[in-house]
Amino acid sequence: MNSDEVFEIKRTWEIPAASPTESGVAILIQFFTKYPSNLQKFSTFKDMTLDELKDNPRFKAHANRIMKVFDDSVQALDDDYSQLEEIWIKVAQSHFNRQIEKQSFNELKEVILEVLAAACNLNDQQTEIWIKLMDFIYDIIFKTIDELEQDA
């Protein structure tokens, strides 16, 4: 990513980063609303309604962790991409161990981009920049999953 793209990511990221728990909850609630089968992959939350999840401290903590990973990623854009790769390799490894499939990752990616576009009022250029970043992140995730599947 060039410096202008990094600037746009950082500038637009300030909006969801200002209230990380609420932003993370909004993403996950939209994810489970649009793709309810993914809720079943969370043993802690699978028997709760979406309304119950919104007020659940463990759910909020998970939402906050997701936002922290993205915040760390946005901050790492100023450095070389080795730190970004390190962050997302760990995410891929932990989710591979929980048998989360690529389809679920792609569904989450779609929802993240939708929620970001709405919350940040992204224009077309900003949306394309976020897609570029998400594609880069997902290349790391999927490459790691492919390697783990080969080693299994």
% of the chain beyond a pLDDT of 70: 100
Model pLDDT, residue 107: 97
- For 13, counting Cβ atoms within 10 Å of its Cβ (0-12 exposed, 13-18 middle, 19+ buried), the class is buried
Domains of the chain: 3-151 (1.10.490.10)
Within 8 A by CB and 6+ apart from 130, the residues are: 9, 12, 113, 116, 117, 122
- For 114, counting Cβ atoms within 10 Å of its Cβ (0-12 exposed, 13-18 middle, 19+ buried), the class is middle
Model pLDDT, residue 132: 97
Q: What is the per-residue pLDDT across 11-59, written as a single tens digit (0 to 9) for each? A: 999 999 999 999 999 999 999 999 999 999 998 999 999 999 999 999 9
Q: Please tell me the distance from the alpha carbon of residue 81 to that of residue 105, in angstroms, as a whole number.
A: 21
Distinct helix (H) and strand (E) counts, the chain: 7, 0
What's the pTM value of the predicted model, to 2 decimals? 0.92
User: Within a 10 A sphere around the Cβ of 14, how many other Cβ atoms?
Assistant: 10
Is 114:26 a contact under the CB 8 Å cutoff? no
